[in-house]
């Protein structure tokens, strides 16, 4: 009877998670129409939002705003995106390959420090995402006033920074985006190669080249419907593996004692694990800023004539902006809860399998060598996490290649495109062959610099600029203000982001320079 009740609760939890991963597909398909949008929330958000950001990198003139619009057949105004769909987009964006790195950081420090740090990072990301929504609503208003027909639009952080700060800053954001994507892809290839080499007698380069080539060739050449289905199954594998690991942790015996370890000093930059500081890893894993433009564009009404029914539009937009804030809150709580559960489960399982869980360098790799009831679920989790991230990243990089070639050459041949795609696949494989020691530094680098700059620093600064420009229009200011405290809070968020970047730079230098000059 007790096992039946436990199975029912587990099935219910799994159904809820599947809702957050799969529900938004129809909504996204109706709103985008791009050739690279995919089925699940995880892949669609990671791919389509980053495609929009990459396209913004063309830095068009003000007369040709960087806007991804729906096809002519969908130019009529659409009903606002549902809160559940928007929340699912946010949740799906933050669930990816970075989840495999979490136990490496949290197991040595203990669950309580991880709980505090993850919650603080989540709160910071939530506030910067709200600032992003504020700035995005101002960008949408500008776009709608410049366009005709009230078409749905999707903006990105690059077009947002171009309108706020000019072309040079947005050009730097394009470079940051490309750097972020290469770091994320290489990190996932490193982990995939390490896992493959654990089971097969392969050289480091071959172990990394096989998963990179398989994912890249499949993403670039397979029909999109096939990629959609593959990603759906990979997402399901991730969820099933995660649920099975949690069940294994609960069934392994009392876990409270294993969760009482607390090494608070490991949250400091100089006390992190190996070659990483924990905070950038948490930032990279929990970040959902890539999804904010789609949520803002989908939930806010499009108005092409700002003088038409302005008061009514402001009332509607204020209500929808509050709904955006609710979606950000609800959606971001899901990956936070999953991360906390995963941190607790991995710590408990590692303590069961080893005498001293804090001495295990990589709990995921340790679980892969454990009995089948542990190794099979973690294999499913790893397959789903790495697979969905690689597919989405390669597709986004493919769109970036198309945009870059179009911007540079105007037209390009299939051969040129294939060569560029091959380079995108080969470069991560070559870099990843340096070995597993690159995995954590790459994820930490992505979180410390591109992620923090693009989604934590730029949004509050842009929101401050747009609000100051609109200072004479009190109605518009009240319409787009979501953060309590106004510019004071936005400035504080920007200062924290700058502090994180500076601290990470010093930390990276202190860790890497001794190795270089050794």
Summarize pLDDT for 51-98 with one digit per residue, the tens: 344 334 333 333 333 333 333 334 445 667 889 889 988 988 888 888
Query: What is the predicted pLDDT for the residue at 147?
Result: 66
CB under 8 Å to 334, separation ≥6 — which residues? 17, 20, 87, 90, 91, 94, 95
| Four-point Cα dihedral 287, 161, 489, 293, nearest 10 | -50
* Residue tagged 């639009």 (tokens): 153
Q: CA-to-CA distance for 223 and 230, rounded, in angstroms?
A: 11
497 touches 457 (CB < 8 A): yes
Q: Which range, of 146-160, 164-178, 242-256, 432-446, averages the lowest pLDDT?
A: 146-160
Summarize pLDDT for 6-62 with one digit per residue, the tens: 444 444 444 444 344 443 443 333 333 332 333 333 443 344 333 344 334 333 333
Phi, psi of 476 (to 5 degrees): -70, -35
Summarize pLDDT for 369-378 with one digit per residue, the tens: 888 889 999 9
**Residue-level length of the chain:** 518
Is residue 1 very low, low, confident or very high in pLDDT (cuts 50, 70, 90)? very low
Q: Which range, of 40-49, 396-405, 426-435, averages the lowest pLDDT?
A: 40-49
437 touches 275 (CB < 8 A): yes
The more confidently predicted of residues 130 and 469 is 130
Return the axis-axis angle of helices 310-353 and 83-94, rounded to nearest 10°.
Answer: 40
38 by DSSP, 3-state: which? Answer: coil
Q: CA-to-CA distance for 241 and 379, rounded, in angstroms?
A: 7
- Euclidean distance between the first and final Cα of the chain, in Å? 62
The percentage of residues in the chain with a pLDDT greater than 70, rounded to a whole number, is 74
24 touches 92 (CB < 8 A): yes
Summarize pLDDT for 233-275 with one digit per residue, the tens: 998 999 999 999 999 888 776 666 667 778 898 898 876 655 6
Query: What is the predicted pLDDT for the residue at 315?
Result: 59
The more confidently predicted of residues 145 and 494 is 494
Please report which residue ranges of 148-271 form alpha helices under DSSP H.
Answer: 157-165, 167-199, 204-221, 224-251
* Confidence check: pLDDT of 124 > 90: yes
* Confidence check: pLDDT of 400 > 80: no
Q: Which tokens belong to 475?
A: 């109605």
Is residue 412 very low, low, confident or very high in pLDDT (cuts 50, 70, 90)? confident
* Confidence check: pLDDT of 134 > 90: yes
The more confidently predicted of residues 146 and 134 is 134
CA 134 to chain centre: 20
Q: For 56-67, b where at least 16 C-beta lie within 10 A, e where not — what string?
A: bbbbeeeeebbb
Q: What are the structural domains, with CATH classification, of the chain?
A: 31-39+50-516 (1.20.1740)
69 by DSSP, 3-state: which? Answer: strand
Q: CA-to-CA distance for 357 and 359, rounded, in angstroms?
A: 5
367 touches 349 (CB < 8 A): yes
**Of 128, 191, 174, 231, nearest in space to 462 by CA:** 128
Residue 2's Cβ-count burial label (10 Å; 0-12, 13-18, 19+) is exposed
pTM above 0.85, yes or no: no
Query: What is the predicted pLDDT for the residue at 504?
Result: 94
158 touches 170 (CB < 8 A): yes
Q: CA-to-CA distance for 513 and 505, rounded, in angstroms?
A: 12
CA 185-187-190 angle, to 5 degrees, is 110
31 touches 81 (CB < 8 A): yes
32 touches 43 (CB < 8 A): no
Average pLDDT over residues 416-442: 90
3-state helix, strand and coil shares in percent for the chain, rounded to the nearest 5: 80, 0, 20
Q: CA-to-CA distance for 363 and 379, rounded, in angstroms?
A: 13
Query: What is the predicted pLDDT for the residue at 78?
Result: 60
* Confidence check: pLDDT of 150 > 60: no
The more confidently predicted of residues 89 and 324 is 324
Query: What is the predicted pLDDT for the residue at 301?
Result: 64
Average pLDDT over residues 476-487: 73
Average pLDDT over residues 441-470: 94
CB under 8 Å to 130, separation ≥6 — which residues? 325, 328, 482, 483
Query: What is the predicted pLDDT for the residue at 308?
Result: 45
Phi, psi of 151 (to 5 degrees): -70, 150
Ramachandran region, residue 149 (left: φ > 0; alpha: ψ -120 to 50; beta: rest):
left
Q: CA-to-CA distance for 285 and 95, rounded, in angstroms?
A: 7
Average pLDDT, the chain: 78
* Confidence check: pLDDT of 360 > 80: no
Integer-rounded Cα radius of gyration of the chain = 22
DSSP state letters, 73-88? GG-S--PPPPHHHHHH
Q: Which tokens belong to 82?
A: 């549902």
Query: What is the predicted pLDDT for the residue at 8?
Result: 44
Q: Which tokens belong to 129?
A: 């995402």
Average pLDDT over residues 159-185: 91
Q: Which tokens belong to 428?
A: 């991560």
Query: What is the predicted pLDDT for the residue at 271?
Result: 65
Average pLDDT over residues 293-304: 76
CB under 8 Å to 468, separation ≥6 — which residues? 487
């Amino acid at each position: 009877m007790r096992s039946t009740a436990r199975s029912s609760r587990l099935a219910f939890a799994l159904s809820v998670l599947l809702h957050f991963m799969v529900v938004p597909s129809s909504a996204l398909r109706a709103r985008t129409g791009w050739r690279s949008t995919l089925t699940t929330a995880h892949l669609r958000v990671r791919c389509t939002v980053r495609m929009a950001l990459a396209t913004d990198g063309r830095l068009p003139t003000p007369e040709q705003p960087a806007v991804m619009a729906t096809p002519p057949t969908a130019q009529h105004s659409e009903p606002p995106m549902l809160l559940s769909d928007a929340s699912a987009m946010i949740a799906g964006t933050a669930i990816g390959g970075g989840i495999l790195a979490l136990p490496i950081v949290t197991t040595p420090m203990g669950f309580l420090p991880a709980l505090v740090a993850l919650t603080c990072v989540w709160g910071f990301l939530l506030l910067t995402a709200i600032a992003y929504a504020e700035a995005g609503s101002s960008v949408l208003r500008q776009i709608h006033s410049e366009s005709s027909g009230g078409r749905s639009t999707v903006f990105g952080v690059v077009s947002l920074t171009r309108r706020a700060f000019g072309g040079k800053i947005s050009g730097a954001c394009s470079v940051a985006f490309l750097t972020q994507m290469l770091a994320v892809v290489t990190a996932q290839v490193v982990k995939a190669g390490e896992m493959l080499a654990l089971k097969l007698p392969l050289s480091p380069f071959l172990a990394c080249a096989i998963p990179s080539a398989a994912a890249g060739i499949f993403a670039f050449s397979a029909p999109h419907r096939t990629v959609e289905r593959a990603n759906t199954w990979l997402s399901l594998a991730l969820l099933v593996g995660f649920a099975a690991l949690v069940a294994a942790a609960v069934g392994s015996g009392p876990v409270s004692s294993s969760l009482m370890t607390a090494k608070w000093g490991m949250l400091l930059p100089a006390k992190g694990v190996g070659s990483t500081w924990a905070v950038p890893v948490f930032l990279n894993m929990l970040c959902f800023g890539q999804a904010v433009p789609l949520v803002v564009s989908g939930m806010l009404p499009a108005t092409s004539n700002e003088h038409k029914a302005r008061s009514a539009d402001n009332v509607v937009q204020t209500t929808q902006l509050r709904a955006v804030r609710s979606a950000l809150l609800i959606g971001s709580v899901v990956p936070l809860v999953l991360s906390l559960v995963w941190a607790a489960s991995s710590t408990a399982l590692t303590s069961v399998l080893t005498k001293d869980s804090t001495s295990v360098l990589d709990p995921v790799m340790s679980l892969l060598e454990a009995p089948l009831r542990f190794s099979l679920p973690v294999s499913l989790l790893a397959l789903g996490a790495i697979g969905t991230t690689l597919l989405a990243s390669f597709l986004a990089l493919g769109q970036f290649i198309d945009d870059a070639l179009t911007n540079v050459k105007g037209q390009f041949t299939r051969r040129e495109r294939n060569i560029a795609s091959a380079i995108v696949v080969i470069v991560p494989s070559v870099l990843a062959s340096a070995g597993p020691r690159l995995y954590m530094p790459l994820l930490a680098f992505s979180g410390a610099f591109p992620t923090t700059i693009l989604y934590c620093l730029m949004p509050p600064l842009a929101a401050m600029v747009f609000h100051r420009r609109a200072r004479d229009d009190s109605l518009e200011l009240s319409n787009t203000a979501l953060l309590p405290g106004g510019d004071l809070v936005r400035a504080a968020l920007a200062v924290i982001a700058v502090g994180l970047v500076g601290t990470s730079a010093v930390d990276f230098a202190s860790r890497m320079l001794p190795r270089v000059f050794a």
